[in-house]
Amino acid sequence: MKKEGRVDEAIESYSKAIELQPDCAEAYSNLGVLLIEQGRVDEAIESFRKAIELQPDCAKAYFN
């Protein structure tokens, strides 16, 4: 399987995780990283912002 397919799968997995646990800052941060890989910068920024909103000390979200 190509990397792009694996990124798509991972995005689906994190999206489902967020549906099940919408207060998980780490899931939003990790989703943001994957969205960046796909060039979906605006969506990634929103994901990082949500992670920071949920967990203001989430260093990964600020860094990314």
Contacts of 28 (CB under 8 A, 6+ apart): 18, 47, 48, 50, 51, 54, 61
Domains of the chain: 3-63 (1.25.40.10)
Q: So what's the pLDDT on residue 4?
A: 63
Range name among 1-5, 23-27, 52-56, 58-62 with the lowest pLDDT average: 1-5
Residue pLDDT, tens place only, 8-51: 999 999 999 999 999 999 999 999 999 999 999 999 999 999 99
Tell me which amino acid residue 32 is. G
Q: Is the pLDDT of residue 1 over 50?
A: no
